Amino acid sequence: MKTILAIDTSCDETSAAIVQDRRVLSHIEYSQIVLHQKWGGVVPNIAKRAHEERIDWVIEKALKNAQIPISKCDAIAVTYGPGLSMALLVGIRKAQELSIKFNIPLIGVNHMEGHLYSPFVQNSKGNPKRSFEFPYLGLLVSGAHTELVKFTDHLTYQILGETRDDAAGEALDKAARMLGFGYPGGATIEHLAREVNNKDMFHFPQPMIGSGDLAFSFSGLKTALMYTLKEMSDADKNTQLRFLASSFQEAIFQTLMKKTRKAILKTGITNVLVGGGVAVNERLRTTLRAMIKNQEGTVWYPPYKYLNNDNAAMIGLVGAIRAEQGLYVKDISTLDRVARLSLNEVSS
């Protein structure tokens, strides 16, 4: 059983966790949302400074809450990509510093690996008790990433399709700004959409449904919303606001659902894992669950709400698996940020 100190500073949450195998003994997170709201999105230099101010505190608090001294940790796992370059560097440098100071092995973790494994994270009592039953299809839907992944064994991934431009979460945030709301916008869109029965009044296009592949593209959908708003009076916009929000959300979710169904039919894999910030949306969960049940499959979401966000707990789980296989960074001075790191670049 490996005890891991995990660190994640991939975007706008400063997070640390103590993880033993799949069990999270403690998890501490400092959210920067309030700092970025007035700018309408994450500002890299503000994120970097906030990470620097909080990282020692979250690590010390995570260790204290777990009642485990850092000297008893078997490894330090840290996100090295993808993410904001300036933000990633803060976590990496701190992990390197602690690794040298306490002579603890270092493990680099791909952030999207964490999201893929997030449905298997357990609380300190070992719940939920979900066993691994490979293979899986992974649908990763976060602010910056939308991709379908074939997950055939531990640390073995193949990207089947990914976004060519805006990710689903990014598109929802941009739509919220176009509708006059602040950052982050996904929750606002979901709240508005809940209030209408006609979920798809405007029939926005479902991008790349007929493409024949498993790739995504949401920039054209954003353009469709922009032109629709240009043709409406302010009074009409206010009247139709909820229907606009719902129709935009529905176009994204129907696209995700249909592409996932195509991946199931193409691969024959019916066990589906869903991770990333957008996965918290109840409409998406309901849509996917119904489709996958119709395909006689199962779908797993992260068992606790915080696991949908960027968090160190999921990084710790991946770190524990890598530690069991002896996959440590050979020269810790060489570990560096990779802002556009792909899951295809991860190897066991």
- Residue of 98, 78, 71, 55 whose CA lies nearest to 341: 78
SS3 at position 225: helix
- Map tokens 């993808």 to a residue: 82
Which residues lie below 8 Å from residue 154, measured CB to CB, with a gap of 6+? Answer: 132, 321, 325, 348
Amino acid type, 204: F
- 3-state DSSP: the chain helix, strand, coil percent, rounded to 5? 45, 20, 35
- CATH 3.30.420.40 spans which residues of the chain? 3-126+306-345, 136-302
Amino acid type, 6: A
What is the full DSSP assignment across 326-345? T---SSGGG----TT--GGG
* C-alpha distance across the termini of the chain, in Å: 19
Whole-angstrom Cα distance, residue 10 to residue 78? 10
Question: Do residues 263 and 214 make contact, with C-beta atoms less than 8 angstroms apart?
Answer: yes
Residues in the chain: 348
Radius of gyration, CA atoms only, the chain:
20
Q: Classify strands 13-20 and 23-31 as parallel, antiparallel or unpaired.
A: antiparallel
DSSP 67: T
CATH 3.30.420.40 fits 3-126+306-345, yes or no: yes
Helix (H) / strand (E) containing 78: strand 75-81
- Residue of 201, 179, 323, 301 whose CA lies nearest to 250: 201
pLDDT score for 302: 96
- Map tokens 């008893």 to a residue: 72
Question: Do residues 193 and 199 make contact, with C-beta atoms less than 8 angstroms apart?
Answer: yes
Question: Exposure string (b/e) for 313-323, b if CB count within 10 Å is 16 or more?
Answer: bbbbbbbbbbb
- Residue of 143, 150, 121 whose CA lies nearest to 269: 150
Q: What is the pTM of this model?
A: 0.95
Which residues lie below 8 Å from residue 7, measured CB to CB, with a gap of 6+? Answer: 15, 16, 55, 59, 76, 77, 78, 79, 91, 94, 95, 312, 315
DSSP 199: T
Mean pLDDT (10-residue bins), the chain, 348 residues: 96 96 97 84 90 98 98 97 96 98 97 97 96 97 94 96 93 94 90 94 93 93 96 93 97 97 97 96 95 94 93 98 96 93 74
Q: Which CATH class is domain 136-302?
A: alpha beta
